[in-house]
Amino acid sequence: MRTHLRALSFALFGLASPAEAMCLYGAYPDGLNAATTIDQEFYDSTVVVRGTVLRSDRKTLSTGSAREQGVLYQVRSDEIFKGQVPLRFAYFTALSSDALQLEDGTQYLLFLNPLPLDDPDEDVAPGALVVNYSCGQSGPWADIPPDGRHLLRQLSGNGRGASAQGAK
């Protein structure tokens, strides 16, 4: 009986609407949960890359008196649309409701910026890049439609993204 009640409570709990991520797109005044476009994020990001996640490592962050979790990903550059990035680079995210979490072995389109030097996460992820907007256009490459891929290559200036072969 207790098992059935537990199952029923989980089922009823699941009917409640899940908490949604609260995302702030800092570049715009009405940036709370803003809907962005590929070209908007392209211009607002330092690095735009198609990359494959090679490895992920959980990290413990000390932010003041609180201890939080984060993930440091090692990513291989497969195609560079904007900026300069090494063949292998680090992407970091704190684990929060608006975190863009990646899966090992999956290829992603990532709109990235450097982690600010004064950011407390810089201690656990020196030199890492962070996503421009976690509720934005970054996501699995397989989900990017053909017109979005074409737009990225147009925005990169030469109709094709730069090969990662030339990456440092």
Per-residue pLDDT at 19 exceeds 50: no
In this prediction the pTM is 0.75
Give the span between the Cα atoms of 71 and 54, in whole angstroms: 13
Query: CB under 8 Å to 106, separation ≥6 — which residues?
Result: 52, 53, 140
Per-residue pLDDT at 115 exceeds 70: yes
Instruction: Name the CATH topology of 20-163.
Output: OB fold (Dihydrolipoamide Acetyltransferase, E2P) (2.40.50)
Greater model confidence, 9 or 84: 84
Name the DSSP letter for residue 32.
B
Question: pLDDT at position 66, please?
Answer: 54
Beta carbons of 15 and 125 less than 8 angstroms apart = no
Percent of the chain with pLDDT over 90: 40
Give the span between the Cα atoms of 57 and 101, in whole angstroms: 12
Question: pLDDT at position 67, please?
Answer: 58
Mean pLDDT, the chain, whole residue set: 76
Question: pLDDT at position 24, please?
Answer: 55
Give the span between the Cα atoms of 114 and 53, in whole angstroms: 18
**Which amino acid belongs to residue 13?**
F
Q: Residue 162, Cα to own-chain centre: how many angstroms?
A: 21
E strand spans, the chain: 47-63, 66-82, 88-94, 107-114, 129-131, 139-140, 162-163
Give the DSSP letter string of 105-118. Answer: T-EEEEEEEEPPTT
Token pair belonging to 26: 């800092």
Question: pLDDT at position 97, please?
Answer: 66
